[in-house]
């Protein structure tokens, strides 16, 4: 008898606890946390943009594209550090970034075919200008993207979204038969 009473009491308490926790339905789409957010990592977004342009223009295969992406991620990070360190001194930035571009040239020589490398070398100034244009405009581009696609910037995954609709309040008092 006592074991039955204890079992029923535990079952009742477990049911009451689960009833109090209503499932939360969220309309916010969760972000894949294994991928870096471009808003939080503008250097990676810059490298990806340049890599995508180069892969398309030079018609690279999968192996070459992955190698190019790794090279560009490294070189763009170096160039961004140079630009940030020497902000205001464009001559020094250009000198040091040209050295980084020469490093990229040597690394791409081992990855690209002869035809692809000669096409790259002939279009190198175009690729550099493509990257510089994005770097100079990236703050406004990233701001517009962040406004259009808000993602959590804090550890608690808080997202700004539309406010909940306020419940409609019923009028109080006696309004007569027509109000019923």
Q: Which residues contact 66 (CB under 8 A, 6 or more apart)?
A: none
In a domain, 73, yes or no: yes
Average pLDDT of the chain to the nearest whole number: 76
In a domain, 13, yes or no: no
pLDDT band at 163; cut points 50, 70, 90: low
Mean pLDDT of 143-154: 58
Residue 159 tokens read as 């997202």
pLDDT tens, residue by residue, 55-79: 999 999 999 999 999 999 999 999 9
Write down the pLDDT at residue 3: 73
In a domain, 138, yes or no: yes
Instruction: Provide the 8-state DSSP code for 149.
Output: S
| Nearest one of 88, 85, 67 to 77, comparing CA atoms | 85
Write down the pLDDT at residue 58: 93
In a domain, 6, yes or no: no
Helix (H) or strand (E) holding 50: helix 42-58
In a domain, 95, yes or no: yes
**Structural domain boundaries, residue 144:** 42-148
Write down the pLDDT at residue 152: 56
In a domain, 72, yes or no: yes
Say how many domains are in the chain.
Answer: 1
Instruction: Provide the 8-state DSSP code for 44.
Output: H
Distance CA 99, CA 101 (A): 5
Write down the pLDDT at residue 57: 93
Check: pTM over 0.85? Answer yes or no. no
In a domain, 51, yes or no: yes
Instruction: Provide the 8-state DSSP code for 179.
Output: G
Residues 152, 39, 153, CA angle at the centre, nearest 5°? Answer: 20
Write down the pLDDT at residue 137: 75
């Amino acid at each position: 008898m006592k074991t039955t009473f204890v079992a029923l009491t535990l079952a009742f308490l477990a049911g009451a606890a689960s009833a109090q926790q209503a499932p939360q339905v969220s309309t916010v789409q969760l972000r894949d946390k294994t991928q870096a957010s471009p808003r939080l990592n503008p250097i990676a977004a810059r490298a990806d943009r340049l890599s995508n342009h180069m892969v398309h223009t030079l018609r690279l295969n999968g192996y070459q594209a992955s190698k190019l992406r790794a090279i560009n991620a490294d070189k763009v990070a170096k160039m961004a550090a140079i630009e940030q360190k020497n902000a205001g001194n464009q001559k020094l930035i250009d000198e040091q970034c040209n050295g980084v571009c020469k490093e990229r040239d040597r690394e791409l020589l081992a990855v690209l075919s002869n035809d692809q490398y000669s096409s790259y070398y002939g279009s190198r100034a175009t690729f550099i200008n493509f990257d510089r244009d994005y770097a100079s405009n990236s703050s406004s581009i990233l701001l517009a993207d962040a406004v259009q696609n808000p993602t959590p910037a804090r550890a608690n995954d808080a997202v700004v979204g539309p406010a909940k609709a306020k419940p409609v309040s019923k009028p109080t008092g006696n309004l007569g038969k027509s109000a019923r």
